[in-house]
Structure 1
Amino acid sequence: MRSRKGGDGIRAAASATSVGDGAKTHAGGGLRLGADTDRLWRLSLGLLAALALAGFVAGGFVLLLAGTGAELPVASILGDGYLRGVVFFTLEQAALSTLISVLAAIPLAAALHRARFRGRTSVLRIFLLPQALPVLVGALAIITVWGRNGVVSDLGAALGLPRFSIYGLEGILLAHAFFNIPLAARLMIAALDAVPRESWRLAGQLSFSPLTTFRLVEWPAIRRALPAAASLVFMLCATSFTIVLVLGGGPGATTLEVAIYQTLRYEFDPGRAVALSLLQIALTALVLTLATRLGSAEAGDFGLGGTARRHDTPSRWRSLFDLAVLFAGLLFILSPFVAILVAGLKADLVRLLTEPAVLDALVTSLWVSLSSGTLAIFLSVAILLGVEALASAERRAVIASAIPRRGLEITASLVLVVPPVVLGAGWFLGLRQVTNVFAAAPYVVVLTNMAMAVPFAVRILGPALQDAHLRSEKLADSLGMSGLSRFRLLDWPALRRPMGLAFALSVAISLGDLGAIALFGNREFTTLPYLLYQRMGSYRTEDAAGLALILGVVCLALIWFAERSSSLGARS
């Protein structure tokens, strides 16, 4: 999703001002000073955004403890046998989910990158769908396909096989694979896109066999992306909430995230909840540190396989293998969508769409998600401008260390390991001292969802902005561009296309979130995911299927509209 228009506006400006170059030679120092001042403003903006994000995250912990006068029961938690089992299961399911997702993504990414056929772009976009689908809808779809009364179990029973149990570790691994295999594959495709065209051309000229091409060209690129892909998937699985809440199946399949929710929702023990949160953050940070030492590639770009031109030697067996992999991948990804569509159409959609509770929940979901998505984009762009200002200082040897830039990047990413229920609960308790607690709940949910969306928006927008600065920053400096004109001519052309996807995913994340609303949902403040979870809990399965279809269609429509708009804007 990289924009190739990052320097077009700057080059046009350079052509327009080339006549006066001789008169401006003596002003080179002034141009440099203006560029440095602009970078200082960008850095200040990025630091303010990062501090606001970090302050919101840290404030949730502080207010949760200070608002209740609770203490951290660290000793009792470390000695609790049940919680040790919860920690072990959290790490076990996250490690197994990561292993399954990454191993399955390797042949899928290679097959997607090699494939050349009409409709390939549509196939690649299908693998974007799981990230746009609300997690609760995906969990319900997995149950519909793989559950005890699902399609797969019915086929197995017809063949005399036992029915598949979806609840417990097996169901969690299946659901995590559904969401994370496409994510890991997209990151690997981006790594394959980054391979120089000369490497593909040389492999073709030397008539490399498919195995040799994979060993010498494809695998080195994929290997560089493995640490980042594995760490991102592990972090998402270790902090998984909705999937484990729906498919966990009891105390034997509970993660730290769900234990934190239960501690706040049913026991209301803030000290224990914060201690469990700190334990989860410590464990996840340890794994991320180990993964970072294995490789330097970052989980940043989301490729659609459009930049590399391959010159592979034709191979019938490899083509058959790629076809089988693509068919299996499409079947695994599309079957839950088909199941939700079929089950949802069986529901009384007309009644649901005219039901006041559903309409209120839909309106609430839309304004909450649009608000949080907009705030996430503003915050992400501000942080990225600060990151690029520090990166520019590194390139010009003004700063000898990359630590400040890394610190700013980490600030935007570490909120992934912070349980949203803890953030929401802390601010909810703090604000009840100064305002109506029920009136404050929607704003707490908006800000919590915003914080959860920032890491994804930064990962989508960051590579495009970085490429634009590497290509055209010196030219912008030589023209003395600063302020809004610099943003309009250098940054905006690069951000315009990926911003549509970033905004759509940020909105979809908020629209399908159950973490924050699970604590504060009530009759006056209900979103579609919360209403869907209530209908599932009361065994109104037909209504739940209809609501899942409505929620899924809204999310996918937002993704399509945002991406369509950004694509049209990029061509204009």
Structure 2
Amino acid sequence: MAGRAQPVGHRTGVGAAALVAVLILGSLLAVALRAEVGRGLGPSDWAAVRFTLWQAVLSAVFSVGLAVPLARALARRRFAGRRLLIALLGAPFILPVIVAVLGLLDVFGRSGWISIALGWFGLEPLQIYGLHGVVLAHVFFNLPLATRLILQGWQEIPAEQFRLAAHLGATSADMWRLLERPMLERIVPGVLAVVFAICLTSFAVALTLGGGPGATTIELAIYQAFRFDFDLERAALLSCVQIFLTGAAALIALRTARGDEFGAGLDRVVQRWDARAGLARTVDVGVIALAALFLVLPLSAIVLAGLPGLALLPASVFAAAANSVLVASVSTVVLVLLAVPMALAVATGWSRSVELAGLLGLAVSPLVIGTGLFVAVHAVADPFALALPVTALVNAVMSLPFALRILVPRARQVVDRHGPLALSLDMAGAPFLRLVVLPRMRAQIGFAAGLAAALSMGDLGVIALFADPERATLPLQVYRLMGAYQMQAAAGAALLLLVLSVAAFWLLDRGGRWHAEA
């Protein structure tokens, strides 16, 4: 396809991919050159490595282990609000981590709702800080993702398979053995690897719920080496360890991904006759209800605790909110300028190199990229003065893999369907882009932009390295209020952050779909 004449050029997309690759690989090179390999890791560093691996293993096992019965229940049941619940499973993805942590504290903390209820029976309050708190937060974020991925596996089993099994008199145990367990053996290893990789690079959760000597992750150790010791060599060495672990986890995730083995069906609605028994119905309803409570209670706590705190917000919160809006706006613009040309380059046949550059953001932690940029900039300029633009740039690169996944299928469809006619009309380049591509990709561009804006608005990563007392985004300001034990003000700021993140996503997504071709 790349050898044929195309209505839109690929050079801009290839150039954008090259810029992304240079940014990421250049940051990694700066980290590698600064690291003193002969220095080795100290006892506290090895403790951070062990804790990072252990919490990632526990988080993956609990997230996926709980997702299997939830996905099975959703696959077997049809009820009012089912689509809303499945849509709710996507909410934690755009929910700012610091906001979710405050919600979890309001529910599971020492003064939280559950601890208050335990006090009625004379029981001790819950302890959320440390390993169990980190794992709890990771399950909150990754249970919905694991459920969606496993539910997709259940939906890939053709309805005809279940109809045949029911016709042959198969019991629920037989269907589990013949259909469901083989599917899970195919799907679950890959989902475990994906969740494990995500939890390896979790920074904000460990920063807020861990942080003690026994609950420090590698990324938190990198942050501490920067902010407290200003030991760039140790931070760079830890970054190399993080790169190795995340790269290994990404390879495992790719190796464990397996294709569909159930064949095609006639797209009929799945009917589960084996699920009509009273016990199966009770179990499924209980699982769905508990999962819904686990997701809804922290979100409700954020709203209930945040409303009184809005009146206590200091001026610094509104300044930080303005910075967050600015960073999210710049990050979104940069993302669109990178992602649209790259998606068109992929659509015109340059898929391998361009997609590889776009996927680099999944294999590298943003904190590691921030470390490399800090090391590179530190020799020639004041890194703290560049806190906001660097944060916006890294956030855009981190959102790029998700944006490409949204844009590339539609870009291919538009180029394949309208490209030949455009060439016959001598419509190529800018006219084709303006009159054909952009109007037909508005919905996808709006969705990708909204996702990038929400993720950037709630990010607490790179800004933690570069920020000084004069420059902070809203997530960092929420963390500072929590550190100063101003919990009511922190709750109000968290609610403001939640509203801004959801509004950014809704406005851009809705704006892209308004009058857009479906």
Whether TM exceeds 0.5 here: the answer is yes
Counterparts of 1:154 and 1:540 in 2: how far apart (Å)? 20
User: What is aligned with 1:310?
Assistant: 270
Counterparts of 1:451 and 1:84 in 2: how far apart (Å)? 30
Q: 1:227 to 1:569 in 2, by over 3 A?
A: farther
User: What is aligned with 2:220?
Assistant: 258
Deviates more, 1:161-170 or 1:115-124: 115-124
Counterpart secondary structure, 2:228: helix
User: What is aligned with 1:160?
Assistant: 122
Deviation at 1:332, TM superposition (A): 0.5
Alignment of 1:85-484 (within 5 A): 85-196=47-158, 199=161, 209-296=171-258, 309-313=269-273, 315-317=276-278, 318-347=280-309, 349-352=310-313, 355-390=314-349, 405=352, 408-428=354-374, 430-431=376-377, 437-462=383-408, 468=413, 473=416, 483=429
1:398-429 Cα offsets, whole Å, 9 max, x none, are xxxxxx72x64443233234343343344345
Deviation at 1:544, TM superposition (A): 0.6
Kept in 2: contact 1:263–1:270 (CA 8 A)? yes
1:36 aligns with 2:19: no
Counterparts of 1:270 and 1:57 in 2: how far apart (Å)? 18
Alignment of 1:477-516 (within 5 A): 483=429, 495-516=441-462
Q: Given residue 334 of structure 2, which amino acid in structure 1 is its aligned partner?
A: L
Kept in 2: contact 1:94–1:237 (CA 8 A)? yes
1:171-192 Cα offsets, whole Å, 9 max, x none, are 0000000000101112233344
Determine what percentage of the aligned residue pairs are the same residue.
37
Counterpart secondary structure, 2:40: helix
Q: Given residue 451 of structure 1, which amino acid in structure 2 is its aligned partner?
A: V
Q: 1:388 to 1:214 in 2, by over 3 A?
A: farther
RMSD value, Cα: 3.3
1:262-295 Cα offsets, whole Å, 9 max, x none, are 1111122222212211111112222332333233
User: What is aligned with 2:15?
Assistant: 48
Counterparts of 2:515 and 2:458 in 1: how far apart (Å)? 27
Q: Given residue 38 of structure 2, which amino acid in structure 1 is its aligned partner?
A: A
Deviation at 1:564, TM superposition (A): 3.9
Q: 1:87 to 1:435 in 2, by over 3 A?
A: closer
Counterparts of 1:342 and 1:41 in 2: how far apart (Å)? 52
Kept in 2: contact 1:104–1:181 (CA 8 A)? yes
Structure 2, unaligned runs of 5 or more: 261-266
Q: Given residue 38 of structure 1, which amino acid in structure 2 is its aligned partner?
A: Q
Q: TM-score, normalised by structure 2?
A: 0.86
Alignment of 1:64-83 (within 5 A): 70=34, 72-78=35-41, 80-83=42-45
Counterpart secondary structure, 1:539: coil
Q: 1:432 to 1:262 in 2, by over 3 A?
A: closer
Deviation at 1:438, TM superposition (A): 4.7
Q: 1:207 to 1:124 in 2, by over 3 A?
A: farther
Counterparts of 1:38 and 1:476 in 2: how far apart (Å)? 7
Deviation at 1:239, TM superposition (A): 0.6
Deviation at 1:545, TM superposition (A): 0.9
Counterpart secondary structure, 1:41: coil
Kept in 1: contact 2:243–2:364 (CA 8 A)? yes
User: What is aligned with 1:558?
Assistant: 504
Kept in 1: contact 2:63–2:139 (CA 8 A)? yes
Q: 1:249 to 1:166 in 2, by over 3 A?
A: farther
Deviation at 1:254, TM superposition (A): 0.7
Q: Given residue 168 of structure 1, which amino acid in structure 2 is its aligned partner?
A: G
Q: Given residue 266 of structure 1, which amino acid in structure 2 is its aligned partner?
A: F
Counterpart secondary structure, 1:240: coil
1:478-530 Cα offsets, whole Å, 9 max, x none, are 88576567768986687544444332221121111111111222343221111
Counterpart secondary structure, 1:267: coil
Kept in 1: contact 2:24–2:360 (CA 8 A)? no
Deviation at 1:541, TM superposition (A): 0.9
User: What is aligned with 1:57?
Assistant: 24
Q: TM-score, normalised by structure 1?
A: 0.79
1:221-270 Cα offsets, whole Å, 9 max, x none, are 55444344323211210011010011114011111111111111112222
Counterparts of 1:85 and 1:308 in 2: how far apart (Å)? 53
1:532 aligns with 2:478: yes
Q: Given residue 315 of structure 1, which amino acid in structure 2 is its aligned partner?
A: R
Deviates more, 1:501-510 or 1:478-487: 478-487
Counterpart secondary structure, 1:252: coil
Kept in 2: contact 1:204–1:311 (CA 8 A)? no
User: What is aligned with 2:264?
Assistant: none
Deviation at 1:567, TM superposition (A): 5.0
User: What is aligned with 2:263?
Assistant: none
Deviation at 1:371, TM superposition (A): 1.6
Counterpart secondary structure, 1:251: coil
Task: Select the residue among 459, 465, 474 that pairs with 1:519.
Answer: 465
Deviation at 1:430, TM superposition (A): 3.9
Q: 1:37 to 1:125 in 2, by over 3 A?
A: same
Q: Given residue 320 of structure 2, which amino acid in structure 1 is its aligned partner?
A: A
